[in-house]
Amino acid sequence: MLLGSIEAGGTKFVCSVGTPELEIIKRVSFPTTTPSETLALVIDFFQQYAEELQAIGIGSFGPIDIHPASPTYGYITSTPKLAWKDFDFVGTMTEAMHVPIAWTTDVNAAAYGEYVKGHGQGLSSIVYYTIGTGVGGGAIRQGQFIEGFSHPEMGHIFVRQHPDDLFEGACPYHQNCLEGLAAGPAIEKRFGVKGQELPVDHLYWEIEAYYIAQCAYTATLQLSPERIIFGGGVMQQEHMVQRVRVIFKDLLNNYVRTPDLAQYIVTPALANNAGTVGCFALARDRVWEV
Ligand code: ADP
Ligand code: ZN
């Protein structure tokens, strides 16, 4: 038995085939152009494994329709990437591959990967955030994603702006929401260089940590998860997670007693594989379901 994973991102699609033990056997990547072009490559890739492939998990950029009863279930809905707006992703894949398709957001998929095989293993509730090209979050409680009329959009919460940060924000919808202030492109817009080019002792990192700490603060008070995991490109700054813990402690001011912060606020165990492992695990759940 083999499982498929599609991490559908705004710049590239990463497609993988793996085992029921969630080990990656083969991984390829295609640029995100138009649905017909990109999915032709995706389908060709999975066709090679058609005989053994049992299910595919998709973690997609969005917003997406996740409601099974909705007539547009499985569609990418209101994305600014116009070629993909109102595109029937799950329908197209089902028609081509004839296997069950698990369907969720890119960040939920990564959250699930960490939940089943990373730093969420053995816990019953986690929140996972990515601080990358955008900011997104996924929350899991007892194996289920927390969602309602739609999936959460945790990256667009409002945060208090740091008094030394005069940046107007880069979110096209909300200007200075968390994503507008703290995602990679917001850093690049402030300084004209990417985050990875800023020295580790740059004063800005304390401001960045202030925003991420507020994100942890909100997650703590709203969801009381057992662990908060911060992934994504910006968290590759190795000093960041400790800065976040320190500011978080200060903001919380002992109001609630959290788990030990070194265990409570962490970076992912699976690094770049969280999304793939999560898609495999969601696909595997679909196989076990039937
Ligand atoms: P995506 O969100 O597109 O899946 P990433 O999580 O890798 O991809 O995020 C990419 C963003 O993270 C870019 O804006 C990039 O500049 C930023 N980034 C990548 N590495 C680092 C780093 N070491 N330090 C700070 N920012 C980084
Ligand atoms: Zn926003």
CATH of the domain at 59: 3.30.420.40
> Is 233 a pocket residue for ligand 1 (Cβ < 6 Å)?
yes
Co-location of 96 and 124 in the same domain:
no
Q: State residue 80's pLDDT score.
A: 78
Q: Is pLDDT of 150 > 80?
A: yes
Candidates 240, 172, 169; CA nearest to 204 is: 240
Q: State residue 10's pLDDT score.
A: 87
For ligand 1, the distance from its centroid to the CA atom of residue 107, given in whole angstroms, is 14
For ligand 2, the distance from its centroid to the CA atom of residue 178, given in whole angstroms, is 7
Ion ligand 2 contact residues with beta carbon within 5 A: 156, 171, 173-174, 177, 179
> Is 9 a pocket residue for ligand 1 (Cβ < 6 Å)?
yes
Beta strands 87-88; 125-131: pairing state: unpaired
Q: Which ligand is nearest to the CA of 154?
A: 2
Average pLDDT of every residue of the chain? 97
Residues contacting 242, CB < 8 A, separation 6+: none
Indicate the SS3 state at residue 200: coil
For ligand 2, the distance from its centroid to the CA atom of residue 15, given in whole angstroms, is 28
Averaged pLDDT, 166-180: 97
Extended strands (E) in 190-269: 227-231, 265-266
Co-location of 75 and 145 in the same domain:
no
pLDDT category at 212 given cuts 50, 70, 90 is very high
Averaged pLDDT, 121-129: 98
Mutate to test the pocket of ligand 1, among 187, 194, 198, 273 (most ligand atoms within 8 A of CB): 194
Q: Would you put residue 231 in left (φ > 0), alpha (ψ -120 to 50) or beta? A: beta
Adjacent-strand bridge partners of 140 = 126, 145
Q: Is pLDDT of 16 > 80?
A: yes
Co-location of 10 and 74 in the same domain:
yes
For ligand 2, the distance from its centroid to the CA atom of residue 175, given in whole angstroms, is 6
Co-location of 260 and 170 in the same domain:
yes
Q: State residue 290's pLDDT score.
A: 65
Q: Is pLDDT of 289 > 90?
A: no
Averaged pLDDT, 151-175: 97
What is the pTM (predicted TM-score) of this model?
0.96
**Which residue range is the domain that position 135 belongs to?**
119-267
Co-location of 138 and 250 in the same domain:
yes
Q: Is residue 283 part of a domain?
A: no
Co-location of 173 and 252 in the same domain:
yes
Residues contacting 157, CB < 8 A, separation 6+: 177, 178, 215, 218
Q: How far apart are CA 85 and CA 10, in angstroms?
A: 12
DSSP assigned state of 161: P
Co-location of 254 and 125 in the same domain:
yes
